[in-house]
Structures are given as structure tokens and as C-alpha cells.
Amino acid sequence: MSESIIDFQRQSRLGVIEAIWGEHKTIEQISKILNKYQLESETALVTRLSKEKAEQLLVEFPSAEFHEISGCLTMGEFKKSSSSKEEVIILTGGTSDLGVASEAEIALNVHGIKTKLLIDVGVAGLHRLLNRLEEIKLAKVVIACAGMEGALPTVLAGLIPQPIIGLPVSVGYGISGGGKTAMEGMLASCAPGLLVVNIDNGYGAGMAAIRILQA
């Protein structure tokens, strides 16, 4: 079996680290990759990891930490933040979006980006969003997570000037189609300049925010 080739130069080249996709890798495959990170004294981020896999890996790598809500495992030191306040605010339409939002938050925190997570500010109770609007405006970038029809990013993009990243979530009944309706709604948004990442791609949303912050 061929060995995994890790892109350890990605941070110096792009400003972001390579994430390890954990869902479809075996314990043995992830273990070999994490050993390489240890040898290079690099910070590792494993995404889409089940609790069962994480528990086995923590036996071998006791210095690692499993963030259960996000399904992420981290190993190594987080980059220190250079900001005195939150640079990215992450919003969720509901509590069911929390796992995906937490993946985005962990991915940002690993890179030293301060974040704030605001949950249950969906458009079904618009007053909840409007009540936090002045607080949201303090962020440099906003990530808006939503399932169902995915309206939250569009509404927000019509209210504040900051870059907004729409993060569709695979939450919703029937026609919601595992997040497809939310994603298509965001892509078809009439709010100018709304950015959209793939369904449940919290890591991707976090990396998009970093690229904006680095611009």
C-alpha cells in the first residue's frame, strides 16, 4: 500500500494547514498520518471522525484532543491569535446546525483566529437575528449555517456589509434533500456577493474566511 504524502508546506504557501479527512480512513491509516505530524512537530486537524475512532486514537496519541460536537480531533499547539477581539462570527439557524458550525470554529481556532458562535438565530424567529445584529457587525467575516430552506445567509447579506459565507447544512424534512435545497437557495440568492460552500463543509467555510482575512 502506498504511503500518504502530507502537504506540510501548505501553511507557508497558503496560510492554512491540510486537514485529515477521517470518515473514510481506517484507524491504521489515520495513525500513520498522525505519526508523520508528530515527527514534523506539526499541528494536525482530523475532521469527520466518529467517537469510536477518536477513542482508539487517543490511546495511541494521548496529547491529542477530541472535540466531540464537531467530530474533529486536534493534535499539537494552536496558533496564537494576534487579535484582541473575535474576527469571525459563526451563526446557526438552529441547534441542529451546531456540529457543522463547530467544525468551522475548530478549523479557525487551530489557525489562531478568534471566533464567536451564536446559535438559534434563524429566520423562523427573525427578531432573534435582529437583536444580535449590532454584535454581528463587529466581525470581519460572518459564516452563516442553515439547513431547511437556507434563508439565513441571504437575509443577513441584505443587512450587513461584511463578507458572508453561506454554509448549507444537511438538516430538514423531505424536499430539503440532505442540504441540497439549502445550498441551491443560497446559490440562487438575490443578495449580492454572498459566498457559498458545499453542504456541511465547515472546514471549507473556515478556510474561505481565512483567505478573506489574509487579503
Domain 88-214 has CATH 3.40.50.1970: yes
Residue 126 burial (CB count, 10 A)? 13
- In sign, the C-alpha dihedral spanning 108, 109, 110, 112 is positive
**What are 10-56's pLDDT values in tens digits?**
888 988 888 999 999 999 999 999 999 999 999 999 999 999 999 99
Residue 167 burial (CB count, 10 A)? 37
CB 167 within 8 A of CB 143: yes
**What are 170-201's pLDDT values in tens digits?**
999 988 889 999 999 999 999 999 999 999 99
Distances 209 to 31, 70, 146, 192 between C-alpha atoms, Å:
29, 18, 17, 18
Strand partners, 167: 145
**What are 145-177's pLDDT values in tens digits?**
999 999 999 999 999 999 999 999 999 998 888
Chain mean position to CA 78: 15
